[in-house]
Structure 1
């Protein structure tokens, strides 16, 4: 199945289409109206002006991969959170490592379908992959998204008998805002303050590897740009206030604040836009202190949205697969 058909199936539209510090009350709500300010198509039109050679990466579903769409992984009141899953047709007694994909869009836009191509291609390389939605800032502010994504990881473990998942090898992969969330989810393994209390709570939400694709590691780092102007931004909308109003919350929401000796291995895959990987070098210093494995890959002269487009899609996939193979190979 082509990416366009998958997107239509998911959205009904064309491709255009101590104590926990908290933001505003996390009341259960119906889904907010979808913010479509960020789409693959709009990003393509923007970047095509500077990079006329690019094309949207949309390979077909590999013949060796099975897919299931619109599966509910957690229900909050009347709100059903959904994911799509891709997995090898070949059976394996011990199952396959799993990867949760997290889309970007400034914590208020974007769609899980954005990374269907990457998820499908990684599944063909021997992984169970899922693209999951999460509550955006138009619906619920921080830490709701973190709670949702940890619930998605618990769903993977709860459903390991139905899908061929090795529950000892689960990774999280995120782009942009999704990369920030991936780093935060992965560096807060076992942190009850960010766990959430809904859905499959008898299972662990811990992950064993992190793939951060151009996601910030700190909202307060000088490189982020957020700390320089103290103006309303996608981050302030998600965090429920300006940095000067909620400095502790802004600090808490960055993965840089949570590195411990138990932090899993991380790969950073970055564009040429420095502010999108703010805090990376400081986090790497912490990883080195604890002797935690990490890799860094960067594409010179690339736009922030590089993983969505050729010619960067395939090498991003390759960096991801190589890293995960290396981290997980001793457990295969």
Structure 2
């Protein structure tokens, strides 16, 4: 059941606001922002995650598949300009078509504990999805070092509204939208996808007449319930968790706020089909089984694909990148292309 608490609870340990820079990847340029960029949190990068995961999985490699020849790129598109001139940007990848054609779209949300990471990390996935007949969009959002919860949720909903409002810029079938997220991005994808047009998560003036309803959700190791026996977020007494930084207040001090950000709180007959892609780290998908139980009771399709031997950042690495892509495409084809 939804909860209503003040959204903006300021963190005592909040750091100075900074703007996001997109590291260049595969020829993509960094976005130009109105403000002078400040140093960002780089604690989670593909390389740092690789170095850590390789200690237990020495045979892994960073997934860098060849760029498909039939994919076009539109980089550095501004989807919303915040007060003060802060430009939120996305990169789009879509099939090269011989005739005018519209494709389902997938909004891809990166992880990094709500305070690190960037949209370039899932460019390889976006390119491969585009080759399979999707408009794949990687979007930035404000991290906890810049703005607390629920700013990230509101930003991503603005990105969905932009996709629906700009079919002329990209060949999108606006009736077929999905969200895909990894880790913190998986939590955000699930929350965005289960709260369509919820006024508490909609903010700003960017394309407010458009809907944020999606037709499919893919959650790759993203938490579904912050207050749950399987959840480890906010339980470390020795240091402040990533979620505590994001909320700006501890779980014990404001449990209803933490519950408010849990997708499990919003499962209803309007929830779209969901795919869960999971590593062997159980706390990273806390609440998943409860969500699936409710979906089943409502007659809504859901699916789980597990890699029990995999580390948490499995979608970024071989040998798990290819099956992650394959399971994603099969699910999206089933849900968004039912006649295929």
Q: Would you say 1:148 and 2:133 are equivalent positions?
A: no
Deviation at 1:226, TM superposition (A): 2.6
* Corresponding residue of 1:180: 187
Equivalent pair of 1:98/1:129 in contact (CA under 8 Å): yes
Q: Would you say 1:296 and 2:304 are equivalent positions?
A: yes
Deviation at 1:92, TM superposition (A): 5.5
Alpha-carbon spacing, 1:236–1:227, altered in 2? closer, same or farther (3 Å): closer
Equivalent pair of 2:5/2:257 in contact (CA under 8 Å): no
Q: 2:129 aligns with which of 122, 128, 142?
A: 122
Q: Would you say 1:63 and 2:55 are equivalent positions?
A: no
Q: Distance in 2 between matches of 1:144 and 1:227?
A: 20
Deviation at 1:204, TM superposition (A): 1.1
* Corresponding residue of 1:24: 9
Deviation at 1:158, TM superposition (A): 1.1
Q: Distance in 1 between matches of 2:104 and 2:60?
A: 31
Q: Distance in 2 between matches of 1:275 and 1:52?
A: 24
5 Å-filtered alignment, 1:153-172, equals 153-172=160-179
Q: Would you say 1:35 and 2:41 are equivalent positions?
A: yes
Deviation at 1:229, TM superposition (A): 4.3
Deviation at 1:64, TM superposition (A): 0.2
Find the residue that maps to 1:222 and give its secondary structure.
coil
Per-residue CA distance 1:28-64 (angstroms, 9 max, x = gap): x652531000000001111111111100001232110
* Corresponding residue of 2:230: 223
**Any unmatched runs of 5+ in structure 2?**
12-16, 20-37
Q: Would you say 1:97 and 2:82 are equivalent positions?
A: no
5 Å-filtered alignment, 1:266-277, equals 266-277=274-285
Alpha-carbon spacing, 1:111–1:248, altered in 2? closer, same or farther (3 Å): same
Greater fraction helix? 1
Q: Distance in 1 between matches of 2:188 and 2:88?
A: 17
Number of aligned pairs?
314
Q: Distance in 1 between matches of 2:188 and 2:174?
A: 21
Deviation at 1:302, TM superposition (A): 0.5
Find the residue that maps to 1:224 and give its secondary structure.
coil
Equivalent pair of 2:234/2:243 in contact (CA under 8 Å): no
Normalised TM-score (structure 1) = 0.91
After superposing on structure 2, the runs of 4+ consecutive aligned residues of structure 1 that deviate more than 3 Å are: 18-21, 91-94, 227-231
* Corresponding residue of 2:290: 282
Equivalent pair of 1:157/1:167 in contact (CA under 8 Å): yes
Normalised TM-score (structure 2) = 0.89
* Corresponding residue of 2:86: 79
**Any unmatched runs of 5+ in structure 1?**
1-17
Equivalent pair of 1:220/1:227 in contact (CA under 8 Å): no
Equivalent pair of 2:18/2:39 in contact (CA under 8 Å): no
Alpha-carbon spacing, 1:37–1:229, altered in 2? closer, same or farther (3 Å): closer
Q: CA RMSD in A?
A: 1.8
Equivalent pair of 1:20/1:194 in contact (CA under 8 Å): no
5 Å-filtered alignment, 1:232-251, equals 232-251=240-259
